[in-house]
Amino acid sequence: MDLSELDLVDHHCHGLITRDLDRPEFESMLTEAAAPSALGGSLFDSQIGFALRRFCAPVLDLEPHADPDAYLARRAELGAAEVNRRMLAATGTQTFLVDTGYLPEPITTPDELAALTGGRGHEVVRLELVASQVLERSGAGAFPEAFRTELARRCATAVGVKSIAAYRAGLALGGQRPTDLAVTAAADRLLHTGSTRVADPVLHEFLVWSGIDLGMPVQFHVGYGDADTDLHRGDPLLMTDLLRATEPHGVPIMLLHTYPFHRNAGFLAQVFGHVFADVGLATHNLGARSAALVAELLELAPFGKVLFSSDAFGLAELYLLGTVLFRRGLGSFLDGGVADGAWTAADAQRVAAMIGADNARRAYRL
């Protein structure tokens, strides 16, 4: 089943780098490795590298599987602006929900990104960034109230919030909403270290609950990321107490990436009414294996609880790869079911529309 025209809401991505990139910069942005390793050879020799040569080369007028040197030469020749325009147009994505909280260098705003496809951009507010900004001027005592006020202001034009507790303190968050007293004490401890970088379960919990109080869907980084993440603390099962506590509020919780814990995420999406899951970031990194990943997520996860995201950052190719591999993986999964008699072609089409866009529209009230 050809899903190349399927309407897509990319419910979690980042901005695009607009300057030209040399080869080391390009390879360093291709995967979650900080850079290629002299011990291990080129990162083009990996699932994502082969997927890039296959799917992105033709967008730059090259044959599929053009070699990396030819690819990078052509990329430089066209220039970043043209490459970005072509790659984003080829995604076919019309709606982007953009996490604006990761800015190692200047990147596109949600509107600038969406303009490349003629689509629409919405903001997802990074909780920890807002907390740091507030802490710098509020001090500990005023922090809870000041944070709530600032988050409300920021969320007035946003569609969701995002937590990176997984990177900072791990996902073993508690089932109790912390009191303002506890939050103030934690903020005080943090400020005494001379930092405003939140990395404390109490503060992460407070941030999350503040988002929930505003009715904002809360995205969580889960599982796969770069070498800064302690992956064994990024298993979404560690969130069980938090999920039990938040379910009655009816605000969606989005488990992002989730690999290699995607089956655990699927379980949570089944048993908790407010939990959704995706396999963004992993989709493009797994290349030819991403269809297997989509199938594993769709074991326990109800089809109304699965979302599409690219989690692309910076490199235009990642938006295209995340999208094309998702379209192909979901198509192959649904095709397999039709061929096997598991569901009808009509149901398969309906499920594709749900996962591609409708679930996100419903959950984020787009």
Q: Is 102 a residue that touches a second copy (CB under 8 A)?
A: no
Site string for a second copy, 268-297 (x = CB under 8 A): -xxxxxx-x--------xxxxx--xx-xx-
Which residue stretch of 87-95, 208-216, 225-233, 316-324 sits at the interface with a second copy (rule: CB under 8 A)? 225-233
CB of 254 to a second copy, least distance (A): 11
Contact status, residue 57 vs residue 65, Cβ threshold 8 Å: yes
Torsions phi, psi for 12 (to 5 deg): -155, 105
Total residue length of the chain: 366
Q: Is 260 a residue that touches a second copy (CB under 8 A)?
A: yes
Q: Is 267 a residue that touches a second copy (CB under 8 A)?
A: yes
Q: Is 58 a residue that touches a second copy (CB under 8 A)?
A: no
CB of 286 to a second copy, least distance (A): 5
Q: Which is nearer to a second copy, 130 or 281 (CB)?
A: 281
How far CA 13 is from CA of 173, 280, 322, 333, in Å, comes to 24, 9, 10, 24
Q: Is 329 a residue that touches a second copy (CB under 8 A)?
A: no
Which residue stretch of 108-116, 123-131, 161-169, 341-349 sits at the interface with a second copy (rule: CB under 8 A)? 341-349
Q: What does DSSP assign to residue 4?
A: T
CB of 283 to a second copy, least distance (A): 11
Instruction: Tell me the C-alpha distance between 65 and 43, whole Å.
Output: 15
Maximum separation of any 2 CA atoms in the chain, in Å: 63
Instruction: Tell me the C-alpha distance between 235 and 238, whole Å.
Output: 6
CB of 358 to a second copy, least distance (A): 9
Which residue stretch of 87-95, 107-115, 149-157, 221-229 sits at the interface with a second copy (rule: CB under 8 A)? 221-229
CB of 232 to a second copy, least distance (A): 4
Q: Which of 1, 78, 231, 353 touches a second copy by CB under 8 A?
A: 231
Q: Is 51 a residue that touches a second copy (CB under 8 A)?
A: yes
What tokens appear for 52 in the block? 């890039």
Q: Which is nearer to a second copy, 139 or 302 (CB)?
A: 302
Per the listing, tokens 């699932």 go with 47
What tokens appear for 135 in the block? 């802490």
Q: Which of 19, 22, 24, 41 touches a second copy by CB under 8 A?
A: 41
Q: Which of 238, 242, 330, 352 touches a second copy by CB under 8 A?
A: 238
Contact status, residue 147 vs residue 138, Cβ threshold 8 Å: yes
Q: Is 4 a residue that touches a second copy (CB under 8 A)?
A: no
Instruction: Tell me the C-alpha distance between 66 and 355, whole Å.
Output: 32
Instruction: Tell me the C-alpha distance between 179 and 157, whole Å.
Output: 27
Q: Is 26 a residue that touches a second copy (CB under 8 A)?
A: no
Q: Is 175 a residue that touches a second copy (CB under 8 A)?
A: no
Torsions phi, psi for 222 (to 5 deg): -135, 130
Q: In b/e form, how buried is each residue of 64-90, taking b as 16+ CB within 10 angstroms? A: eebebeebbeebeebebeebbbbbbeb
Q: Is 68 a residue that touches a second copy (CB under 8 A)?
A: no
Q: What does DSSP assign to residue 96?
A: E
Q: Which is nearer to a second copy, 139 or 336 (CB)?
A: 336
- Restricted to residues 344-363, the positions that interact with a second copy (CB under 8 A) are 344, 347, 351, 354, 359, 362-363
Q: Where are the alpha helices (DSSP H) in the chain?
A: 23-30, 47-55, 68-78, 80-91, 110-115, 127-138, 143-155, 165-168, 180-192, 201-213, 240-246, 262-271, 282-286, 290-297, 316-340, 345-353, 359-364
Q: Which is nearer to a second copy, 276 or 313 (CB)?
A: 276
CB of 84 to a second copy, least distance (A): 25
Residue count at the site for a second copy (CB under 8 A)? 77
Q: Which is nearer to a second copy, 41 or 174 (CB)?
A: 41
How far CA 310 is from CA of 133, 240, 282, 338, 343, in Å, comes to 28, 25, 9, 26, 27
Q: Which is nearer to a second copy, 17 or 251 (CB)?
A: 251
Q: What does DSSP assign to residue 117?
A: T
